[in-house]
């Protein structure tokens, strides 16, 4: 079985990514002085984003050569540009779900953020599990030198 390799890679990515991203983002939310609602919403959205992106990039790492290039292309082109084109396309962007968590919990108005907190949490986590399952299946099918 090669699924422990995928889970280990995912956990390594989360353990490196979480402190580097969550500490500054939560600190920025605290410094706004807007209260505990924005801080808890930011923390929840950040955790969901870290888990989802790490799972997707673990899948990319198993599936593609030069996965860093493809991962950056996904972030910059899809999440940063194409997903802003409308609500239909944005459904395939993690950014929409994490923004929805913040909007639903704080009432702050952000574009393309019209899901409930439950949807904003559940959909990315289901996508994360699916990405890890596909990555495990793919790694099990590959020949490793």
- Which is more confident, 95 or 12? 12
> What distance in Å separates the CA atoms of residue 86 and residue 15, rounded to the nearest whole number?
33
- pLDDT number for residue 78: 78
Give residue for tokens 């596909």: 134
Tens digit of each residue's pLDDT (9 = 90 or more) over 92-124: 888 888 888 998 888 887 777 778 889 999 999
Judged against a pLDDT cut of 80, whether residue 144 lies above it is answered with no
- Name the pTM for this structure: 0.87
Judged against a pLDDT cut of 90, whether residue 143 lies above it is answered with no
Which is nearest to 98 in space by CA: 82, 76, 113, 83?
113
């Amino acid at each position: 079985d090669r699924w422990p390799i995928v889970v280990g890679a995912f956990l390594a990515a989360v353990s490196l990514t979480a402190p580097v991203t969550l500490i500054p983002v939560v600190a920025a939310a605290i410094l706004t002085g807007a209260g505990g609602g924005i801080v808890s919403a930011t923390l929840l959205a950040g955790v969901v984003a870290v888990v989802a992106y790490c799972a997707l990039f673990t899948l990319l790492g198993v599936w593609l050569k030069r996965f860093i290039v493809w991962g950056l292309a996904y972030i910059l082109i899809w999440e940063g540009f194409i997903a802003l084109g409308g609500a239909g396309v944005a459904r395939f962007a993690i950014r929409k779900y994490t923004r929805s968590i913040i909007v639903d919990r704080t009432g702050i108005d952000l574009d393309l953020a019209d899901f409930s907190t439950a949807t904003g949490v559940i959909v990315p986590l289901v996508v994360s599990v699916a990405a890890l399952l596909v990555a495990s299946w793919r790694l099990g099918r590959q020949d490793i030198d």
